[in-house]
Amino acid sequence: MSVLKMEQSAPPQSARLRERRAERRSGRPYPAIVQDRRRYRRVPVDLQGRFMREDKQEYPCEVRDMSAGGMYLSAPVSCHRGERIVAYLDNLGRIEGVVSRTFEGGFAVKINASQQKRERIANLLTWYVNREYLGLGEERQHERFPPRVSASKLILPNGEVHDCRVLDVSMSGASVAIRQKPAIDTVVVLGRLRGRVVRHHNQGVAIQFADLQDPDSLARSFG
């Protein structure tokens, strides 16, 4: 199943005729087809996170419905229409947007993102939907694999660049062999991916990426 861009379309005339015939046969009105005005397909999700308002105050939130173009947030506070917010969501990372409308218990957000960012969101939503459809458990969500290109660079906050070798990688992080082990919680850049050191091991360090990476991003970085 793929989360694809959906263009506006109206029901063809033949479809309307079939609906009218079905109404006459059954004696009941046929459910109206509502034209989908969204450019991107929305999918049900269950994502936890937090969001920051324009006044820099942060609040917890939950996303139950999302596309590459927008999302519905449940939150303990209401935002006004047109307000800019920044959300930090599990598995998706930072997402910026503008409140398009409000409702009891939350609000809808139009996502502000480049086409590349939208494609990444669509890829991650596709992965999320397929994971649910195939019934993959938590232990399979971030399966690790050895990269085709293991040689990489690790950049530290002070600008130092160290040669390293990527032992394995997943959508959420990587295990890296390196002589000089940065301290735990050090923010680093592995190749082009930002993350932080979460633990040490006998060959080097484990890194958690700042954002969940889709398979295409991993392929570009590690082959």
Identical fold for domains 1-141 and 142-222, yes or no, is yes
Level-2 CATH architecture, domain 142-222: Beta Barrel (2.40)
What is the signed CA dihedral for 199, 205, 209, 213, rounded to 10 degrees?
-130
93 φ/ψ sector (left φ>0, alpha ψ -120 to 50, else beta): left
- Specify the CATH number of the domain 1-141: 2.40.10.220
- For residue 26, give the amino acid letter: S
The verdict on pTM exceeding 0.85 is no
CA dist 72 and 18 (Å) reads 34
C-alpha closest to that of 1 among 136, 135, 140, 128: 128
Q: What is the mean pLDDT of each run of 10 residues along the chain (223 residues)?
A: 45 46 46 45 85 91 92 92 90 87 93 87 76 48 76 92 92 90 93 90 91 75 76
The two three-digit tokens of residue 161, written as one number: 């660049």
